[in-house]
């Protein structure tokens, strides 16, 4: 209590001093004023496209996060009673997004509204007074579920895994005219259809190692078989 | 070249994505799936049953400074306004005229009128143009009609030595006048009289103890003072109850001489006659302590009735009437616990409530002037665990068949509210004690009986041989199979009936309606991921609840009428501890509450089974009273032979006892590991203690006898002249920390400073220049070492703080920049760890590195906490309950003091987000979507069996329960997992493989023939 008293006295003294410096005459008038005097901040909120009974009961007014309190009337207007100071006034509604505003009330009861700037609290960008509140939009609390789209399915690795081999299997042989004997020859030389031919067979390697029988013959046989095909 | 550059861009994008913090968010179709909200109003102070208009509502004003309209049919909150905490928001009067609902708040500071059906403000008038005083007297409030016309309703209110008269229709202040000689007046009475002119007279009567009454008469129309007089009455005491009655009467209850004193305020005569005394013996009423009560609060009795109520003692009343200077008894009703009056066809009806002998039934009776109305007599059984009746409010109306009907609202001492319709049916009940919940814990449900047997199989008993174990296994598996078939059968049946099997709890009435224990026992078994729990709530009036975490229904409740919460530094606490969880079958789980006894300084300890709410010790149904008042009770992480955690009780004489007392020897064995500490918020003293065994001669026999003494090992004195300790926050003892350190960009590890004994102490106050000031201390409570300390100048509370792992986050109001800020402190041991297996406060590592950062946060908070998961692998989120009603889940990563101003490659590799001064909360971070919560006292988190999931309960006036998944559901398949797609792809691949194989063989055959 005592410290509060000291603080208010100090506050009044500094204010008085400043006012004496600045105005001289006004100081007398201002000294008569009670520092705890309440001033009225007026404002109005409106939500286009919604009935008043739909949003007003759920809307609350927060002044500095709840240090003072105010209530909306049925037409959306409100009156707040505060002593001199600077206040952040915010409207909250579960589904609507209002933008907070800062209101400064000086010791003579003059009010001005500013855009709230938390990073540079002293920056001034004026707003209309009496206050006007309009929602920026609806609150969007939800993440969107991924919708079913063909492109998404096609992009999925599993589908690519399934589709690409088919493309290779079906389309590429069609692109190349296999009936052309030259290409046939080329393909056979490329061993596209039978890539394993040049690969050394594991069983052959083993037999090579231990037996050293007749692998070249076998190879020939195989090659002949391949040609027969 | 091109390929390699595209790869780098891909990795860069991936890195960027990884660096962007993930906010958990809900999908719209998840609404209400695992979350629920309940709205409460608090302990009812005054209630009015709507009789005009649509008769749909019940208007209540409560101790929690709440004004609400409750649906009379369902008991749900139709609308609600929460006024500010403290004297400024206190609702002194609630008046309903039939069209208008008027409140007087702040001890007469503000008068407001509300639309009864929607609760929207119609007008608001302040009776004073200056900020309210800290202490002001209770106002006198009177509703009257000017010129006796119902079209001109007025309300008169006294505030700070003034009386104001306001037009109820439009809120216009008709006049305001100072009351002459109003100092030394204890309280005021108001009265109107019409006998003078047409204007009417408002009489303000000031009661001055020891002297008498000062009477000032105002013209009710314009406020001009018509006259002043005094009624000397030296018998008036500080607590003398007086009322005013029509016909200028003042009636007082003089308890000293056991008489009723009556005076008439004479209008014009200069000499005021004194009080006439009517001894109660003359009325043949035997009383010790009595009161007088008016029929109607805040308005004069209708039509010169001149009757009032004499409450003779706690259990009987008399309805009496002034008869000239004498008193006549209209009704003398013994055994009445609560009563109310209401007007029915211009006649007063008295409704009384009493209990019968067995205290199981209550009796409601209605009396008119002529006698009891027999058709309205009702015998009702209130739910068990309700306590006794303390308030009743009734409304009589015409039924459809023109006979008289009634609606009665009963409030019980557990702060429960029950609406009783005629016929003795309880339409609904509200457990308003939940609005004052002080502690909350979540308890796992027990495993089902067969599963418990299954665990039993591996031989808990000695002498089990392999065959008997095998036989037991077969039998349990058979019974499991059997129960599965039963379950299946039920499911099919319910499917045929076309409905979901609900466990039979009617949500709206919040009432317990279980059909049998059997179905409940089956319902209350643990699910696969232990997501379904019981929420234990301990409330201020001493009622304990078990809530179902699925839908918030009350599973059980237990009322301890003998306890009150413990008050520490202006805060109420009711410690609730889980001594044994459900994991120790066959030992039953046990929770313990420590409270203060209502009628002494001593403490009460009460243990119960959290699953069914039955006391663990049936021989102590309301707990045991401890012999000495306690200073502290802490649960230690030491278990006795039956897996019961031990509670150590430190009493006023620094003697220590142990609960349960069977664990004394175990505590004695671990004595050197137990350290206690206390903090005194007013003196700023912190003390640490260790345990020493008591000398033989000091040992006393009996339960709860001390076996140790606490010896002070350290003492820290914080500055206390201008500051007070407001928070002492330790880490959660059950917290799991998965990672010991953080990997930096250069692949070295920065080890966390994980001191389990670290406590955050916050003191708020002013510095020497009268500027507000907050100091934060981090103190090791084993050694008293102040690990870290920081000051915030020109900063104001209320501070909200959360302490977990190696970090502290706190939120405060910065006075200088007039904005809210959040500061994070993070402690690191350094690049090497002193002891990687355990932390010892007695051999501590060198002073930790403290990283800190502050952010601008645009919102004010109601509460703050952090998520908690089973093993601590999931990344942490900080949960903040905003004043605007949202619950926001912020990743700890964006509250990271290592966030760089200028990010380098190493920072990027570490995964740090560049510093931004303002924390912006995306709308998808609101985990309670549009289910706003207000009046939240605290928020509690508890791990589920699933590592990714944390159960969250915000409690206070609103209860909101949901699941938080900070790292999304990484350990279960997504809800929208596309089984169809993966199935079709698999089948498609299979078909394609077969088809292509056939095609290939055909082709090979064709080629072979060519």
A5-14, B128-137, B558-567: range with highest mean pLDDT: B558-567
State whether B722 and A10 contact (CB < 8 Å): no
Q: What is the mean pLDDT of residues A121-145?
A: 85
The whole-angstrom distance between A202's CA and the closest CA on chain B is 25
Computed over every residue of chain B, the mean pLDDT equals: 84
DSSP summary character for residue B300: P
Of A37, A62, A69, the CB nearest to B130: A37
Contact B923 A169 (CB under 8 A): no
**How many CB atoms within 10 Å of residue B746?**
8
Q: Test B976 with A162 for CB contact under 8 angstroms.
A: no
* Cβ count within 10 A of residue A127: 15
Both tokens assigned to A112: 């001005």
Q: Which residues from chain B sit within 8 angstroms of residue A133, using beta carbons? A: none
Q: B577 has which bridge partners?
A: B592
**pLDDT value for B426:** 86
Percent of chain B with pLDDT over 70: 90
Query: Is the pLDDT confidence value at B207 over 80?
Result: yes
- The sign of the dihedral angle between the CA atoms of B672, B673, B678, B679 is positive
A69 contacts B84? CB cut-off 8 A:
yes
Which has more confidence, B697 or B564? Answer: B564
CB pairs < 8 Å spanning A and B: 142
Chain A residue numbers with beta carbons less than 8 Å from the beta carbon of B29 are: 145
Query: Which residue from B minimizes the CA distance to A100?
Result: B858
Q: Quote the CA–CA distance of B173 and B127 in Å, as a whole number.
A: 8
Nearest to A74 among B89, B120, B820 (CB): B120
For residue B39, what are the β-bridge partners?
B958
State the first-to-last Cα distance of chain B, in angstroms, to the nearest integer: 46
Percentage of chain B exceeding pLDDT 90? 30
CB contact under 8 A, A100 and B858: yes
> Which residues in chain B touch residue A139, judged by CB atoms under 8 angstroms apart?
923, 926, 930
| Separation in Å, CA B847 to CA A76, B786, B841 | 57, 10, 12
Higher pLDDT, B328 or B786: B786
Listed as own residue / partner, the contacts of B205-209 with beta carbons closer than 8 Å and 24 or more positions apart are B205/B244, B205/B250, B205/B265, B206/B179, B206/B181, B206/B182, B207/B236, B207/B240, B207/B242, B208/B184, B208/B236, B209/B236, B209/B237, B209/B238, B209/B240
Q: What is the 3-state secondary structure (H, E, C) of B476-522?
A: HHHHHHHHHHHHHHHHHHHHHHCCCCCCCCCCCCCCCCCCCHHHHHH
What mean pLDDT value characterizes chain A? 73
Name beta bridge partners: B155: B143, B166
In angstroms, the CA A62 to CA A70 distance is 7
Contact B1008 A228 (CB under 8 A): yes
Of B422, B639, B493, B547, residue with least CA distance to B942:
B547
Separation of alpha carbons B498 and B593, rounded Å: 44
A140 CB neighbours in chain B (<8 A) are 923-924
- Which residue in chain A is spatially nearest to B30 when comparing CA positions? A142
Contacts of B269 (CB under 8 A, 6+ apart): none
Residues of chain B contacting A158 with CB distance shorter than 8 Å = 981-982, 985
| Structure tokens belonging to residue B647 | 């509670």
- Chain B hits for A36, Cβ within 8 Å: 130-131
Query: Contact at 8 Å (CB) between B955 and B440?
Result: yes
Contact A139 B926 (CB under 8 A): yes
* Interface touch A121/B818, C-beta < 8 Å: yes
Cross-chain residue pair A143–B120, CB shorter than 8 Å: no
Residue B954 β-bridge partners: B939, B960
**CB-based contact A64 B26, cutoff 8 Å:** no
Tens digits of residue pLDDT in B753-780: 998 899 999 999 887 788 888 999 999 9
Residue the block writes with tokens 């993966």: B982
The CB density around residue B986, as the number of other CB atoms within 10 Å, is 12
Tens-digit pLDDT profile for residues B884-936: 999 999 999 999 999 999 988 888 888 889 999 999 888 889 998 889 999 99
Q: What is the average per-residue pLDDT within B382-399? A: 85
Distance CA B251, CA B293 (A): 10
User: What b/e readout covers B11-34, taking b as 16+ CB neighbours within 10 angstroms?
Assistant: eeeeeeeebebebbbbeeebeeeb
| Whether residue A180 has pLDDT greater than 60 | yes
Out of B138-142, B252-256, B431-435, pick the least confident.
B252-256
- Asked if the Cβ–Cβ distance from B924 to A10 is below 8 Å, we say no
Query: Distance between alpha carbon B550 and the CA centroid of its chain, in Å?
Result: 19
Which secondary-structure segment (H or E) carries A56?
A: none
Residues near A179 by beta carbon (within 8 Å), at least 6 away in sequence? none
Max Cα distance, chain A (Å)? 125
Long-range contacts made by residues B614-621, C-beta under 8 angstroms, separation at least 24? B614/B558, B615/B558, B616/B588, B616/B590
Task: Between B255 and A27, name the one with better pLDDT.
Answer: B255
pLDDT for B850: 93
Tell me whether residues B129 and A37 touch, CB distance under 8 A.
Answer: yes
Question: What is d(CA B143, CA B302) in angstroms, rounded to the nearest whole number?
Answer: 12
Lowest mean pLDDT of B441-450, B453-462, B847-856, name the range.
B453-462
**Residue B738 confidence (pLDDT):** 85
Q: How far is CA A192 from CA A37, A125, A184, B334, in A?
A: 95, 75, 10, 109
- Closest-approach residue (CA) in chain B for A69: B84
Angle at B485 (CA atoms; ends B479, B488), nearest 5 degrees: 145
CB contact under 8 A, A57 and B722: no
Nearest-by-Cβ selection for B930 from A94, A146, A166? A94
Q: How far apart are CA B15 and CA B911, in angstroms?
A: 8
Q: CB neighbours (10 Å) of residue B971?
A: 14
Give the pTM: 0.84
Distances (CA, A) of B561 to B411, B558, B615, B623: 15, 10, 14, 11
3-state secondary structure of B88: helix
Contact B989 A161 (CB under 8 A): yes
Say if the Cβ atoms of A142 and B123 lie within 8 Å.
no
When CB atoms are compared, the residue of B722, B884, B929 closest to A92 is B884
Identify which of A83, A118, A162 has the shortest CB distance to residue B988. Answer: A162
Residue of A nearest to B130 (CA): A37
Using a CB-CB distance cutoff of 8 angstroms, which residues of chain B are in contact with residue A146? 976
Which residue of A62, A79, A156 is in closest CB contact with B884? A62
Strand order in the sheet with A60-63: A68-70, A60-63, A85-92, A101-105, A111-115, A126-127
Residues of B in contact with A7 (CB under 8 A): 770
Nearest to A142 among B27, B131, B918 (CB): B27
Tell me what pLDDT residue B501 has.
36
What residue in A sits closest to B131 (Cα-Cα)?
A: A36
DSSP class of residue B536 equals E
- Joined together, the tokens standing for residue B368 give 């008119």
Q: Kindly determine whether residue B121 and residue A74, on different chains, have CB atoms separated by under 8 Å.
A: yes
Chain B interface mutation, best of A142, A193, A195, A229, highest count of B Cβ atoms under 10 Å: A142
For residue B549, give the H/E element and its range. none
Taking the CA of residue A66 and the nearest CA in chain B, the distance in Å comes to 7
d(CA B875, CA B873): 6
Is 80 exceeded by the pLDDT of residue A17? no
Average confidence (pLDDT) over B685-691? 91
Q: Which residues in B lie closer than 8 A to residue A34 (C-beta atoms)?
A: 129-130
The string of pLDDT tens digits covering residues B623-675 is 889 888 888 889 988 888 888 999 999 988 888 888 888 888 888 888 888 89
Q: Can you count the helices (H) and strands (E) in chain B?
A: 7, 69
CA dist B599 and B22 (Å) reads 53
Q: What is the H or E stretch that residue B411 is in?
A: strand B404-412
Residue B500, pLDDT score:
39
Flag the least confident range among B399-403, B510-514, B943-947.
Answer: B510-514
Contacts with B819 from chain A: Cβ below 8 Å: 88, 118, 121
pLDDT in the model for residue B505: 36
Q: Do A146 and B976 touch (CB under 8 A)?
A: yes
Burial (Cβ within 10 Å: 0-12, 13-18, ≥19) of residue B37: middle
Out of B121, B126, B861, closest to residue A73 by CB: B121
Strands B425-431 and B153-159: unpaired
Please, are residues B429 and B384 in contact by the beta-carbon 8 Å criterion? no
CA distance A210 to chain B (A): 35
Quote the CA–CA distance of B238 and B243 in Å, as a whole number.
15
**Residues in chain A within 8 Å Cβ distance of B861:** 65
List, as one string, the DSSP characters of A67-105.
Answer: TEEE--BTTSEEEEEE-SEEEEEEEE-SSEEPPPEEEEE
Cis peptide before A134 (omega within 30 of 0): no
What CA–CA distances, in Å, run from B415 to B44, B258, B435?
A: 7, 33, 10
| Chain B nearest CA to A28, separation (Å) | 19
Residue B382 phi/psi, 5-degree rounding, is: -80, 160
pLDDT digits (tens, 9 = 90+) for B332-352: 888 888 888 888 888 888 899
Residue B467 CB partners (closer than 8 Å, separation 6+): none
| The predicted structure's pLDDT at residue B23 | 61
Radius of gyration of chain A (CA): 43
Interchain proximity A140–B924, CB inside 8 Å: yes
């Amino acid at each position: 209590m005592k410290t509060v008293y000291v603080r208010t006295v100090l506050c009044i003294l500094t204010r008085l001093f400043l006012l004496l410096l600045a105005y001289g005459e006004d100081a007398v008038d201002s000294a008569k004023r009670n520092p705890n005097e309440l001033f009225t901040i007026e404002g109005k909120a409106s939500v286009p496209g919604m009935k008043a009974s739909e949003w007003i009961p759920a809307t609350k007014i927060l002044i500095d996060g709840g240090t003072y309190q105010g209530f909306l009337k049925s037409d959306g207007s409100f009156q707040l009673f505060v002593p001199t100071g600077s206040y952040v006034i915010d409207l909250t509604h579960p589904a609507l997004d209002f933008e907070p505003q800062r209101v400064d009330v000086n010791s003579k009861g003059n009010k001005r509204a500013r855009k709230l700037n938390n990073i540079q609290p002293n920056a001034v960008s004026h707003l209309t007074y009496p206050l006007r509140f309009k929602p920026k939009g609806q609150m969007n609390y939800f993440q969107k579920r991924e919708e079913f789209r063909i492109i998404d399915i096609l992009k999925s690795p599993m589908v690519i895994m399934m589709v690409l081999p088919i493309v290779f299997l079906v389309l590429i042989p069609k692109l190349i005219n296999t009936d052309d004997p030259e290409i046939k020859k080329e393909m056979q030389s490329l061993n596209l259809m039978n890539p394993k031919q040049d690969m050394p067979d594991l069983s052959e390697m083993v037999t090579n190692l231990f037996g050293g029988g007749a692998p070249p013959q076998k190879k020939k046989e195989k090659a002949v078989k391949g040609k027969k095909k | 070249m091109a390929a390699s550059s595209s790869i780098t861009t891909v990795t860069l994008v991936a890195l960027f994505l990884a660096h962007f913090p993930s906010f958990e968010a809900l999908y719209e179709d998840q609404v209400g799936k695992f979350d629920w909200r309940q709205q409460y109003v608090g302990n009812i102070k005054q209630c009015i049953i709507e009789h005009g208009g649509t008769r749909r509502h019940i208007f209540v004003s409560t101790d929690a400074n709440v004004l609400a309209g409750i649906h009379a049919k369902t008991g749900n909150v139709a609308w609600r306004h929460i006024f500010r905490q403290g004297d400024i928001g206190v609702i002194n009067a609630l008046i309903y005229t039939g069209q208008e609902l008027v409140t007087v708040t702040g001890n007469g500071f503000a008068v407001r009128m509300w639309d009864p059906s929607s609760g929207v403000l119609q007008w608001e008038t302040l009776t004073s143009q200056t900020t309210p005083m800290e202490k002001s007297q209770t106002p006198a409030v009177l509703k009257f009609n000017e010129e006796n016309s119902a079209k001109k309703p007025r309300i008169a209110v006294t505030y700070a030595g003034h009386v104001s008269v306001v037009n109820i229709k439009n809120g216009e202040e008709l006049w305001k006048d100072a009351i002459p000689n109003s100092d030394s007046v204890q309280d005021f009475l108001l009265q109107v009289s019409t006998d003078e002119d047409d204007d009417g007279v408002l009489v303000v009567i000031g009661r001055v103890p020891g002297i008498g009454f000062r009477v000032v008469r105002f013209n009710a129309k314009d406020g001009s003072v018509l006259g002043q007089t005094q009624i000397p009455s030296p018998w008036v005491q500080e607590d003398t109850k007086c009322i005013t009655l029509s016909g200028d009467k003042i009636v007082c209850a003089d308890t000293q001489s056991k008489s009723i004193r009556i005076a008439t305020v004479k209008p014009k005569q200069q000499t005021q006659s004194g009080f006439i005394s009517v001894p109660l013996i003359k009325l043949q009423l035997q009383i010790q302590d009595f009161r007088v009560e008016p029929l109607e609060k805040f308005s004069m009795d209708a039509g010169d009735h001149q009757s009032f109520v004499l409450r003779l003692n706690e259990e009987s009343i008399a309805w009496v009437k002034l008869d000239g200077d004498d008193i006549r008894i209209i009704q003398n009703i013994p055994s009445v616990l609560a009563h109310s009056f209401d007007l029915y066809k211009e006649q007063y009806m008295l409704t009384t409530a009493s209990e019968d002998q067995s205290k199981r039934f209550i009796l409601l009776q209605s009396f008119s002037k002529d006698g009891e109305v027999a058709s309205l007599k009702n015998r009702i059984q209130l739910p068990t665990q309700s306590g006794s009746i303390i308030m009743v409010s009734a409304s009589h109306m015409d039924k459809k068949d023109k006979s008289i009907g009634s609606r009665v609202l009963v409030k019980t001492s557990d702060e429960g509210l029950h609406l009783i319709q005629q016929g003795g049916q309880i339409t609904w009940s509200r457990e308003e004690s939940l609005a004052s919940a002080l502690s909350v814990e979540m308890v796992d449900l027990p495993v089902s009986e067969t599963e418990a047997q299954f665990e039993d199989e591996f031989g808990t008993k000695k002498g089990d041989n392999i065959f008997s174990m095998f036989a037991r296994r077969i039998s349990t598996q058979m019974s499991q199979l059997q129960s599965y078939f039963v379950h299946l059968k039920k499911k099919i049946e319910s499917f045929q009936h076309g409905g979901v099997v609900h466990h039979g709890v009617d949500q709206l009435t919040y009432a317990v309606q279980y059909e049998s224990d059997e179905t409940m026992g089956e319902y209350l078994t643990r699910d696969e991921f232990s997501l379904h729990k019981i929420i234990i709530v301990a409330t201020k009036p001493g009622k304990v609840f078990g809530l179902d975490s699925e839908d918030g229904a009350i599973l059980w409740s237990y009322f301890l009428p003998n306890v009150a919460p413990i008050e520490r530094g202006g805060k109420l606490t009711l410690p609730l501890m889980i001594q044994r969880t459900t994991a120790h079958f066959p030992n039953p789980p046990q929770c313990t509450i420590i409270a203060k006894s209502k009628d002494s300084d001593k403490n009460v300890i009460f243990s119960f089974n959290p699953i069914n709410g039955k006391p663990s010790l049936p021989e102590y149904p309301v707990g045991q009273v401890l012999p000495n008042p306690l200073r502290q009770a802490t649960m230690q992480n030491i278990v006795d032979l039956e897996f019961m955690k031990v509670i150590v009780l430190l009493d006023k004489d620094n003697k220590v006892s142990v609960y349960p007392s069977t664990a004394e020897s175990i505590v004695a064995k671990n004595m050197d590991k137990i350290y206690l500490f206390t903090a005194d918020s007013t003196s700023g003293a912190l003390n640490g203690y260790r345990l020493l065994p008591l000398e033989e001669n000091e040992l006393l026999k009996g339960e709860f006898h001390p076996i140790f003494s606490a010896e002070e090992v350290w003492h820290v004195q914080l500055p206390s002249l201008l500051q007070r300790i407001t928070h002492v926050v330790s880490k959660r003892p059950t917290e799991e920390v998965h990672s010991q350190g953080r990997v930096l960009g250069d692949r070295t590890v920065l080890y966390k400073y994980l001191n389990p004994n670290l406590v955050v102490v916050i003191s708020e106050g002013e510095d020497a220049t009268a500027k507000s000031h907050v100091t934060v201390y981090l103190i090791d409570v084993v050694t008293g070492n102040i690990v870290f300390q920081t000051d915030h100048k020109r900063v104001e509370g209320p501070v909200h703080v959360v302490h977990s792992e190696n970090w502290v986050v706190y939120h405060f109001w910065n006075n200088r920049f007039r904005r809210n800020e959040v500061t994070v402190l993070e402690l690191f041991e350094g690049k090497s760890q002193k002891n990687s297996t355990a932390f010892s406060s007695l051999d501590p590592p060198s002073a930790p590195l403290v990283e800190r950062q502050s952010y601008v946060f645009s919102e004010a908070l109601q509460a703050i906490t952090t998520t908690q998961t089973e093993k601590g692998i999931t990344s942490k989120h900080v949960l903040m309950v905003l004043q605007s009603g949202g619950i926001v889940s912020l990743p700890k990563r964006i509250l990271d003091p290592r966030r760089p101003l200028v990010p380098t490659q190493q920072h990027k590799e570490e995964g740090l987000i560049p510093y931004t001064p303002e924390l912006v909360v995306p709308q998808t971070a609101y985990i309670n979507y549009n289910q706003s919560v207000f009046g939240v006292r605290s928020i509690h988190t508890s791990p589920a069996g699933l590592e990714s999931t944390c159960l969250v309960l915000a409690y206070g006036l609103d209860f909101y329960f949901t699941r938080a998944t900070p790292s999304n559901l990484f350990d279960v398949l997504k809800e929208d997992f596309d089984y169809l797609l993966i199935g079709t792809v698999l089948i498609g691949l299979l078909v394609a493989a077969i088809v292509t194989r056939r095609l290939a063989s055909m082709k090979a055959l064709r080629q072979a023939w060519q």
